[in-house]
Chain A
Amino acid sequence: MSPILFWIFAALMLGFGAATLVNRNPVASALSLVVSLLGLSALFFSLDAYFIGVIQILVYAGAVMVLFLFIIMLLDLKAEQRRQISLPVLLGGVAVTALFVTQIALVVRTFQVGNKPFPSLAAKFDDASNIGNMLFSHYNLPFQVIGVLILVASIGVVVLSKRELN
């Protein structure tokens, strides 16, 4: 993919990421996050990682964010829109962000492996089956453990949402 598209999608992602934080209207924030996620998945597409890119849309933009939006609309939040920005909070936020960005910049500069060019992929590259093979052979145990973890979490939700506990 040409660098122009990379810059367009990166700018889209970062711009709407910032809009998520800056917007006072919760619905506008959630929608900005959706656009930001779409930009991210476009970047995945540009790396030939079609599977991850589509899953990004399917799971985050298509399911999780819809539920978020749903809850926001049902709650009809008004308090967030009226809140004032206080100076100490703003300064603190800027300071933490600056610290974090400096840290990342230092790490990236000293990270020697990152300077090596990535070997180009084969012309026809089936990333879905590659991910499947990796997941079920190399990372089988962690994968299963995560499955159990999610099961525990969902059972927990069911138990908690039941009103009367004997």
Chain B
Amino acid sequence: MNAILHDLADPNSILFMIWTTLAKSAGLLGVVLGMVSYTVYAERRVSSLMQDRLGPNRTGFPISLLGFGLKDWSPILGGLGQPIADAVKLLLKEDFTPAYVKKFYYWIAPALGIAAAIISLAVIPFGSKIGTVDMVIANIDIGPLFIFAISSLGVYGIVLAGWSANSKYPFLGAIRSTSQLISYELALGLSVVPLFLIIGKLNLVEIVHYQVQNGWMLLPGLTAGKLPTLSQVLCWIPVLISFLVFTIAMFAETNRLPFDLPEAETELVGGYHTEYSSMKFALFFLGEYTAMITGSSLIITLFLGAWHFPGIPDGSMSGWPGVLWGLVNIGVFFTKVFAFLIFFIFIRWTLPRFRYDQLMKLGWIWLFEIALVNIFLTALIVAFVH
């Protein structure tokens, strides 16, 4: 018994690794899923405020039902209970399976969709360190590639959902979505190559460390508290191009407006999840928003310094200061992610939807070519600087 307790506290033992990893996974999943539901809420609130409406502002927490003379605080907490009410509603709704669907694929499609979105969270460094523990679930050398690979598997959820529904609108939605995802994956993958050329590493944790020392990729030098060198200034040009291409491709990859062709309500009823109801529909919804969070996290990790903020130390010191600063770093990371999600929402409620041929043209003729040329440009600059 004592040996096990000793193992649990010893940073080099396998038991220590197992329980910290489990704790990190559970914590991250909890935070991200909570964030998903409040992103949906933020989406509804922000969109309505942008359209001169108020949005869901009533569902509070009925704590007065508990008795004890508690007050409801509804005017203050108004609307914040909405995600919980939505979740309860979705769980309790009738889970209807149409008679004509292909049952097996109909059932596994939502699970595939959300699994892909959640698995890719594993390699994202969402914080610096707490004591000796790295705040990343799996520190592997090919982080971005891993994310691209897993998110490319997420297509299966959509394809199978559309196909198994055995009805034309979901199928059209699935076809659109597949071709869209395949087209934009290329631009997505190629656009970040310049970054790896400059940094020389494929490991997300090391990419973040590079940014801590040399300033964020988009703000070279400045955030590390020094003036940027000539090479950093030169490299900033391809980094900016790569940031723009990556962000646009990420919008398309997460099926957000202006690229939400797969579920264009006005044309396709509901897209690939037309035939789904209740929790299966909610799984698609969760998957979509989780993919948004993964995408934002990746953009922030690659271009905006992840958990780093000038003047805030990382949590590698021992004892309570380490824990405290580690938690602050995690907070900084999620604040940045949330800011990016709000940006996603702003864009969604501002731009009209692209036409399908415009979407394909943008992906194949513009973004793909720009990303390719950008790689050569970066190679030239890197060769010139060395």
Contacts and interface: CB of A to CB of B under 8 A. Distances in A.
Direct contact of A and B (CB under 8 A): yes
Interface of A: 27, 31, 34, 50-51, 54-55, 57-58, 61-63, 66-67, 69-70, 73-74, 126-128
Given A27-B163, A128-B202, A58 B175 contact: no
B152 A63 contact: yes
Contacts of B185: 62-63
Contacts of B234: none
A51 B153 contact: no
A70 B141 contact: no
A149 B189 CA distance: 23
Interface string B215-239: 0000000000000000000000000
Decide if the interface of chain B is mainly helix, strand, loop or mixed.
Answer: helix
Contacts of A55: 145, 149
Interface residues of B, number: 23
B116 to A, nearest CB: 10
Contact of A128 (B141, B155, B156, B189): B141
A98 B292 CA distance: 50
A34 B156 contact: yes
Contacts of B145: 51, 54-55, 58
29 contacts: A27-B105, A31-B156, A50-B140, A50-B141, A51-B141, A54-B142, A54-B146, A57-B149, A57-B150, A58-B148, A61-B149, A61-B153, A62-B148, A62-B149, A62-B155, A63-B152, A63-B182, A63-B185, A66-B152, A66-B155, A66-B178, A67-B182, A69-B159, A70-B175, A70-B178, A74-B175, A127-B141, A128-B141, A128-B202
B86 to A, nearest CB: 32
Contacts of B149: 54-55, 57-58, 61-62
Nearest to A48: B141
Contact of A73 (B153, B155, B163, B182): B163
Nearest to A25: B102
Please indicate which of the listed interface residues A57, A62, A67, A70 has the most CB atoms of chain B within 10 Å of its own CB.
A62
Contacts of A73: 159, 163, 171
Contacts of A34: 156
Contacts of A27: 105, 163
Decide if the interface of chain A is mainly helix, strand, loop or mixed.
Answer: helix
Given A58-B149, A63-B182, A126 B155 contact: no
Nearest to A126: B141
Interface string B135-176: 000001110011011101101100100010000000100010
B156 A66 contact: yes
Contacts of A70: 159, 175, 178-179
Contacts of B155: 62, 66
A35 B182 CA distance: 19
A34 B105 CA distance: 14
A48 B202 CA distance: 15
Nearest to A57: B149
Contacts of A31: 156
A128 B142 contact: yes
Given A63-B182, A66-B182, A70-B175, A57 B159 contact: no
Contacts of B148: 58, 62
A50 B189 CA distance: 17
Contacts of B156: 31, 34, 66, 69
A122 to B, nearest CB: 13
Given A58-B149, A127-B141, 13 more contacts: A31-B156, A54-B149, A58-B148, A62-B155, A66-B152, A66-B178, A67-B182, A69-B156, A70-B175, A70-B179, A73-B159, A126-B141, A128-B141
Please indicate which of the listed interface residues B146, B150, B153, B171 has the most CB atoms of chain A within 10 Å of its own CB.
B153
A30 to B, nearest CB: 10
Q: 8 closest Cβ contacts across the A-B interface?
A: A62-B152, A57-B149, A58-B149, A54-B145, A54-B149, A73-B163, A50-B142, A66-B155
Contacts of A58: 145, 148-149, 152, 189
